[in-house]
């Protein structure tokens, strides 16, 4: 079963990073205010980045790396991903 790391852009301009095995259902939880404490306080706007991994361990490792990135670095990461999808 694949796991995903995802980044959500919040309405205040901040980013939330997490991992899951089902991005769609996790986003529904975040949007309803039941996904994470952070997204209850900083309302989610939209999903801006996802990465797929073969294992939970790999996804968690990548999530930890993304969480150490500053705001500017996360913004660049999401821009790069948007350009590569064109």
Three-state SS string over 57-80 comes to HHHHHHHHHHHCCCHHHHHHHHHH
d(CA 18, CA 48): 12
* Fold held by 3-84: GIY-YIG endonuclease (3.40.1440)
Q: Where are the domains of the chain?
A: 3-84
Taken in order 70, 76, 82, 85, the sign of the CA dihedral is negative
* Distance between start and end Cα atoms, the chain: 27
pTM comes to 0.91
- Assess whether pLDDT exceeds 50 at residue 7: yes
Q: 3-7, 20-24, 25-29, 78-82: lowest mean pLDDT where?
A: 78-82
């Amino acid at each position: 079963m694949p796991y995903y790391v995802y980044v959500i852009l919040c309405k205040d301009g901040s980013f939330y990073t997490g991992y899951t095995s089902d991005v769609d259902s996790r986003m529904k939880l975040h949007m309803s205010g039941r996904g994470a404490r952070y997204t209850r306080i900083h309302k989610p706007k939209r999903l801006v980045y996802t990465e797929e991994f073969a294992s939970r361990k790999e996804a968690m490792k990548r999530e930890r790396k993304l969480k150490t990135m500053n705001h500017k670095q996360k913004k660049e990461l999401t821009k790069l991903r948007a350009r590569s999808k064109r």
